[in-house]
Chain A
């Protein structure tokens, strides 16, 4: 099966990037789809997101709605942002540097939107 790795390296709110990336991932679920959270993208891994005041969709709901999408978060990025003691979305898998790179290498296609 063809595999797609969508890399998110910017914060989930404040631009349309993460929303666009998650929607592209959602329509790709007939393939093997991974969303990789890297750098500021790891903020998307936080549990209990509330975007009501922003007037934008709650992006964590897209992750919950599509269990077919594998979501991995780059643990060193979480550490750098002091987020390791925060509650994370339970579907997000933490990966070290090597595992994160392995997931990228194993994919047919890497997309940074």
Chain B
């Protein structure tokens, strides 16, 4: 049975290297493990579409790629709503929801999903300043 790694982020893209570090860790881990990524606080900006960084890898596209490769990438609904990212569906009816402003494969969910991820994980890494 595959082991599960959960990565928690709190920084937005580019302000620190953590989104890039998480991408590299997750990409490597996905070869052998299940990977969850929980976007908390300012990291809910990472999946925002339309980023155009000149000198850095596009964080939104990187995380969409991780989701395409099987990673579960979820953003905290309260943090997302506070920053203007609203789920398409009411989370009182659905466990998670896509968001028009987000890259594909990344969904908005309740903070309770973080607790579930922590409970089910073999290893947890929090990348935070």
Contact = CB atoms under 8 A, between A and B. Distances in A.
B40 A20 contact: yes
A109 B40 contact: no
Interface of A: 2, 4, 16-17, 20, 23-24, 27-28, 30-31, 109, 111-113
B112 interface: yes
Interface stretch (B20-28, B48-56, B63-71, B114-122): B114-122
B10 interface: yes
Nearest to B82: A16
Contacts of B114: 24, 27-28
Contacts of A23: 78, 111
Given A24-B40, A27-B115, 17 more contacts: A2-B118, A2-B119, A4-B118, A16-B41, A17-B10, A20-B10, A20-B40, A23-B78, A24-B111, A27-B112, A28-B114, A28-B118, A31-B115, A31-B119, A111-B124, A112-B128, A113-B41
Given A20-B10, A24-B40, A113 B115 contact: no
Contacts, number: 43
B119 A30 contact: yes
Contacts of B79: 20
A113 B8 contact: yes
Contacts of B91: none
Given A20-B40, A20-B41, A27-B111, A113 B118 contact: no
Contacts of B121: 109
26 contacts: A2-B118, A16-B42, A17-B10, A20-B41, A23-B78, A24-B40, A24-B111, A27-B112, A27-B114, A28-B114, A28-B115, A28-B118, A30-B119, A31-B115, A31-B119, A109-B118, A109-B124, A111-B126, A112-B126, A112-B128, A113-B8, A113-B10, A113-B40, A113-B41, A113-B126, A113-B128
